[in-house]
Amino acid sequence: MFLCILLLNYRIFHDIILAFYNCPTPVPTGYVSTVPITILGTTLGGGNSFAQAINNKVEIVGFAEDLFLEKPTVLCQNGIMTDLGTLGGKYSDATGINDKGQIVGCATTSDGNSHAFLWQNGVMNDIGNLGPDASRIKAINNNGQIVRCFRFPNEEVNHACLCDLSKILENPAPEDINGDMVVNVKDVILAATHFNTISSGNNYDIKCDLNDDGYINMIDIMMIVEKFNHTY
């Protein structure tokens, strides 16, 4: 009986040793990998790092904690982790990268609000909150198209949509006066604030003159109403 127990324990110990010996790369204690894995790097000095997306050049984006437990966006290239920063706040999270190296995600601003961003050519560009509540970019392809999800104000239902990033940057919708990618009461209020002003007036705002007639009137208000609740 004693011999059987001894042999059984030896067999278990032998299997454990083989499992760790055959593991192709270092992995966390207690985890046994069945395929080769690569540890990308720890963090920016904090405790955690997270990978969110990868392109065909094996460039990886996500976010990582720094010494102050803030979580800036990171780009990992050739095993080197680079801090891409935030929009002035404590957090940013990259969720997509294409083969052109364009990176999209969301980041907090200095006032704590969450805005979408586009990182390219070494610069993180604030592209706003993309309108409706809880708007978030999820991915970007090589054509500059993004997928995002959002909620309309006072809704609890998520909506998914496909958008052209270049159009978002250009803001081609004149009815979307404040550039938040949705036509709503905020745009009506902005136009109403400049109602009955002409191009030579101190209160004139060309963005509110939707038909470019030099006069902000009910025609401009009705153009906004016609596009009410339209998102871009």
Structure tokens at 35: 């395929």
Tally the C-alpha atoms within 13 A of residue 223's C-alpha that lie toward its C-beta.
18
Question: Comparing C-alpha atoms, which of 112, 68, 120 is closest to residue 87?
Answer: 112
| pLDDT tens by residue, 69-101 | 567 777 888 778 888 888 888 888 899 999 999
**Domains located in the chain, CATH noted:** 1-39 (no CATH), 41-170 (no CATH), 173-232 (1.10.1330.10)
Please say whether the dihedral angle defined by the alpha carbons of residues 109, 114, 115 and 119, taken in this order, is positive or negative: positive
% pLDDT > 70, the chain:
70
Tokens of 34: 């069945």
Q: Rounded to an integer, what distance in angstroms lies between the CA atom of residue 84 and that of residue 61?
A: 10
| pTM for this prediction | 0.59
Q: Which of 8-17, 33-42, 92-101, 128-137 has the highest mean pLDDT?
A: 92-101
- Whether 103 and 97 have beta carbons less than 8 Å apart is answered as yes
Angstrom distance (rounded) from CA 122 to CA 232: 26
Q: Which H or E run contains 52?
A: strand 45-54
